[in-house]
Structure 1
Amino acid sequence: MENQDKEKVQKGLHYAMILSVITIAYNTIEGIVSTFFGASDETLALFGFGLDSFVEVLSGVGIAHMIYRMKRNSINERDKFEITALRITGTALYILTAGLIVGAGISIFNQSEPETTMAGIIVAGISILTMYFLYAEKMKVGKKLDSKPIISDAKCTKTCFYLSFILLASSLIYEIWQIPYIDALGSIGIAWYAWKEGKEAFENAKSKSLSCSSDCC
């Protein structure tokens, strides 16, 4: 009976690792596509969304490392690699926040507008579907294993899900009605989420605990 329980746990952790790898791979592709079209179409919201995707890759690597350790032995707190990954992630998110706010200010001052936000609509739509799938599956395996770290990772994915709606809203509104500065406002919304995630990353690195009170670990 004990061997069967261990086998179920290992299967659950194996699936959690697969979901983690998918998250890293998807965010890498999303980051490349979003920054490319964000730069070429001059849409700050999409460009910032892409940069956030790259930062999420750093966070995803830390999560994958944690799950790898969980597969080998029972763990009680984060190791140095995971803490370093969180600190790098937090720093990158703070830099991204500052860059997006400054970029939005310059965009409004220069009265800059995107050529088109169609790419943002497509990227956001795909991201919403992907992040919802990843969130639901991570939450499912986290509850089965009664694993707070995996459940916290699912909540972090849920944050990315909400972030996609900000991009979709700003891109869709501009594409239909051409409302001035809506792209800049969308990038400020992304900056707010980036700041929130950065703050949580530093808090989690400081606590070292696998059990987090925040939504994103």
Structure 2
Amino acid sequence: MEGKKQQQLFQRAWWLALISILYNILEGGISTYFGIDDETLALFGFGMDSFVEVISGLGIAHLYWRLRKHNIAQRDRFEVTALKVTGTAFYLLTVSLVLGASFQLWQQKHPVTTLSGIIIAILSILTMYFLYQHKLSVGRKLNSAPIIADAKCTLTCFRLSLVLLISSLLYEWLHLPYIDAAGSLVIAWFAYKEGKEAFQKARTGALSCGCKD
């Protein structure tokens, strides 16, 4: 591949990483606001997950910036630190959601509405699918394992959005008090898995994502 074309593709990958960061900041702010306002733990947890993804995204953007200049085989100190902070934040989120869901079930609390969760989840599904397709396309053109791995990790956010959509739709239709708590527990499970993967990547320093298709 010509050097100029390669640089353009790496530049595109870097911009995709920045879009991911900015979108997660926006999504996190809106989701946590409506999560508190509508008293839906699943939406609040989804928003907090987005904020943690911002930390992870900074490490990924830094990685892409280094890939533009030369081939690399290991993560540097900044990326490893970002992974450790990300993993810790995901574990804290997991504990918080489990405790919150337990309290919600015990007190028989339920959301005012989950309409905001439905709208946010649909927008997130569309955005994550867009990012997945474009990251995968760039990764394949460059034959870059780190970029392909990151694209596959975006599928986790896509699946998380599906969880929010399903739980929000079910509550809006059925109004059963435990549905929101159940959705937040599934989000907690995803957060635990992401935290575990972040620490694994920090420990090995490998560029692979460790996410499943």
Q: Which residue of 2 aligns with 1:49?
A: 46
10, 34, 48: which one pairs with 1:37? 34
Partner of 2:148: 151
Q: Aligned partners of 1:148 and 1:207: how far apart in 2?
A: 16
Per the alignment, residue 105 of structure 2 pairs with: 108
Q: Kindly report the root-mean-square deviation, in angstroms, between the aligned alpha carbons of the 2 structures.
A: 0.9
1:15 aligns with 2:12: yes
- Give 1:31 deviation, angstroms: 0.1
Q: CA deviation at 1:28?
A: 0.2
Deviations 1:88-129 (A, max 9, x none): 000000000000000000000000000000000000000000
The count of residues paired between Structure 1 and Structure 2 equals 212
Residue 209 of structure 1: how far off its partner (Å): 1.4
Structure-2 residue corresponding to 1:215:
211
5+ unaligned residues in a row in structure 1: which ranges?
A: none
* Partners of 1:180 and 1:44 in 2: CA distance: 11
What's 1:128 paired with? 125
Identity %: 57
SS at match of 1:74: coil
CA distance in 1, matches of 2:176, 2:144: 45
Give the C-alpha shift of residue 197 in structure 1: 0.5
Encode CA deviations 1:168-211: one digit per residue, 9 max, x unaligned: 00000001111221000000000000000000000000010113
Matched, 1:188 2:185: yes
Alpha-carbon separation, structure 1, partners of 2:111 and 2:32: 14
Do residues 58 (structure 1) and 24 (structure 2) align?
Answer: no
Measured against aligned partners, the alpha-carbon deviations of 1:147-166 in whole angstroms (never above 9, x if no partner) come to 11111111111100000000
CA distance in 2, matches of 1:210, 1:168: 31
If the length of structure 2 is used for normalisation, what is the TM-score?
Answer: 0.98
In 1, distance between residues paired with 2:135 and 2:155? 10
Partner SS for 2:127: helix
1:117 is the counterpart of 2:114: yes
> Is residue 88 of structure 1 aligned with residue 85 of structure 2?
yes
Once residues 207 and 172 of structure 2 are traced to their aligned partners in structure 1, the CA distance between those partners, rounded to angstroms, is 43
Kindly report structure 1 stretches of 4+ aligned residues shifted beyond 3 Å.
none
The residue that corresponds to 1:204 in the other structure is 201
Structure 1 distance, partners of 2:174, 2:95, is 28
TM-score scaled by length of structure 1? 0.96
For residues 185 and 160 of structure 1, what CA distance do their matches in structure 2 show? Answer: 18
User: In 1, Cα distance between the equivalents of 2:189 and 2:140?
Assistant: 29
Gap regions ≥5 residues in structure 2:
none
